[in-house]
Amino acid sequence: MLITNMMRAMIFERTTPVTEKNVLARLALEEEQYLAQPLRAFTLATTISIRTPLASFTTRFRGVHVRVLPEMPDEFVRARAKAHRAIPREDVSPAGYSTLLASVHAHTPEAAAELTLDAVTCLRGMWNFAHRGLGVSLSYSSDEPDSINWIRLGRVHTMHHDDGTRASEGYFYDPGAVGQTLFNRADLLPEVRAFVTRVRKKLRRFEPQYRRDLERAFSRYARALDTRDFESALLKLWGVLELITHVRRKNFGDIARRAAFVWPERTWARAVLEHLRDRRNAFVHEQESNDAPDRLVWQLKRYVDRLLLFHLRAGTDFGSLEAAARFLDLPSEQEELRAEMRRVRRALRFLYPQRRDG
């Protein structure tokens, strides 16, 4: 955000040529001014699609204190009232939604907004992944299908000080955020939270970069499945698959092969994934729309979910996405694997021959 704002200012001010030297000098100045500001406590206030009677829990993630509450505290309601005059009340307080407050220490309200929204998005990715992974199906009208995610944020996010007063006059507005479906399974919420607790404990044992990569995957997973535009969801979810298969240098043929590796019926899985890739490419390159994009997203989600589970269960054996990808590149047939083992043993003997006395 700091770099984006700086570049925008340099372009529109037109007082200094946009050269490498000037950009680096301006960046150093902006960073110095930013870090000179004291750390202060800020709270993001928004709503979340967990039905009100179920909402009352807290968690901490990436230094952010997240609270889900049945109602918005009065001091925050008063401070958010100004937003009611600019946009419909049902967007500020959608029916049945609970309150989400996310608090963090940051130098500016803008930085706090970025930190809190990033943390909450990653958590929502894990919550929705856990929710679907626990075997709950979603039904909707074919006339107006809802997003796949049940746990979504509301449309209006505001930044506050600890006492509830507004930390900035602006607000964040997402016109496509609110869906029809609420998470309303009182029996399932403890299981979802327990599952995510196990996921986070597991991730803490990963190498730092591997953990960050998977957390980024969960964030992108949440954003992909928030939307009711299923062609957009297909593109975004395919991007998640590209990330967790560690595709590099445009070797897109590796995606289907690596993702199919974790399935018992690998030939069938690869055929389905190649079909999904073709539908995705037709939309991207030829603007060829899909007749039932929601079905394609549901199909693709099965393969993304299975591969995310693979990383979570076996990731401590690898240490990085790259190492996991090398494992997924191994032959899947037993005889091919045995032949590979023989080649490796032969290479070891050739490169590191054992010494013989005498």
74 CB-near residues (< 8 Å, 6+ apart) = 164
Question: Structural domain boundaries of the chain?
Answer: 1-28, 38-207, 229-358
Phi-psi region of 51 (alpha: psi -120 to 50; beta: other; left: phi over 0): beta
CB of 84 closer than 8 Å to CB of 72:
no
Q: Report the amino acid identity of residue 155.
A: R
The model's confidence at residue 5, banded by pLDDT at 50, 70 and 90, is low
More confident residue, 179 or 198: 198
The confidence score (pLDDT) of residue 355 equals 63
What is the layout of strands, in order, in the sheet containing 57-61? 57-61, 64-69, 98-106, 40-48, 156-160, 172-173
Query: 15-24, 28-37, 286-295, 345-354 — which one is most confidently predicted on average?
Result: 345-354
Least confident of 66-70, 128-132, 343-347: 128-132
Q: What is the H or E stretch that residue 18 is in?
A: none
The model's confidence at residue 6, banded by pLDDT at 50, 70 and 90, is low
How far is residue 248's CA from residue 250's CA, in Å, rounded to a whole number? 6
Dihedral (CA of 85, 91, 93, 99) sign:
negative
Helix (H, G, I), strand (E, B) or coil at 46: strand
pTM metric for this prediction: 0.86
Percent of the chain with pLDDT over 90: 56
pLDDT (tens digit, 9 = 90+) per residue, 180-235?
Answer: 678 888 778 888 889 999 999 999 999 999 999 999 999 999 999 998 889 999 99
CB of 47 closer than 8 Å to CB of 67:
no
Tokens of 320: 């990085």
The confidence score (pLDDT) of residue 265 equals 93
pLDDT (tens digit, 9 = 90+) per residue, 248-279?
Answer: 766 778 999 999 999 999 999 999 999 999 98
CB of 57 closer than 8 Å to CB of 138:
no
CB of 146 closer than 8 Å to CB of 138:
yes
